[in-house]
Amino acid sequence: MSDCIFCNIVNREIPSYTVYEDEDVYAFLDITQTTKGHTLVIPKKHVADIFAYDEELSQKVFSRIPKIARALELAFPDMKGLNVINNNKELAYQTVFHSHFHLIPRYDESDGFKLTFTNHADDYSPNDMQEIADLIKRNVTL
């Protein structure tokens, strides 16, 4: 897709700092470097988000993430953790509409990255939780 920055990176029309590449997956340093080693993992095939993956593509992409994560851990012995983040659709903060996974090494609590969740547990009864689980179960397809 010619107007996709990540497709242009895969096609070498825009330079990048390659971390890993095979016939299906490309990983490169995120230009923002939220923390040292911040890496993006993308399918070479253009898909907008996780909802566009088929089983074959998901196996190809997801199986590479631990391999690249281990490389980060070996490259940066002072790394104490890793966030793997995937945003899907604009409301979920996706800004580049070519599916990608952020691998963000964590070094300490002041490394410039924060991720917080609001606890809404008191808003849902056990019955509500079961209804939500059942609704999702009914919609899982193989």
**What does the alpha-carbon distance between residue 73 and residue 79 come to, in Å, rounded to a whole number?**
6
**Per annotation, catalytic residue among 38, 98, 100, 102:** 100
**What does the alpha-carbon distance between residue 37 and residue 70 come to, in Å, rounded to a whole number?**
12
| Tokens linked to 43 | 């399918």
In degrees and rounded to multiples of 5, residue 43 shows phi and psi of -75, 145
100 noted as active-site residue: yes
Among the listed residues 122, 37, 27, the one whose alpha carbon sits nearest the alpha carbon of residue 81: 37
Residues 6+ apart with CB under 8 A from 76: 36, 37, 105, 107
Residues with catalytic annotation?
100
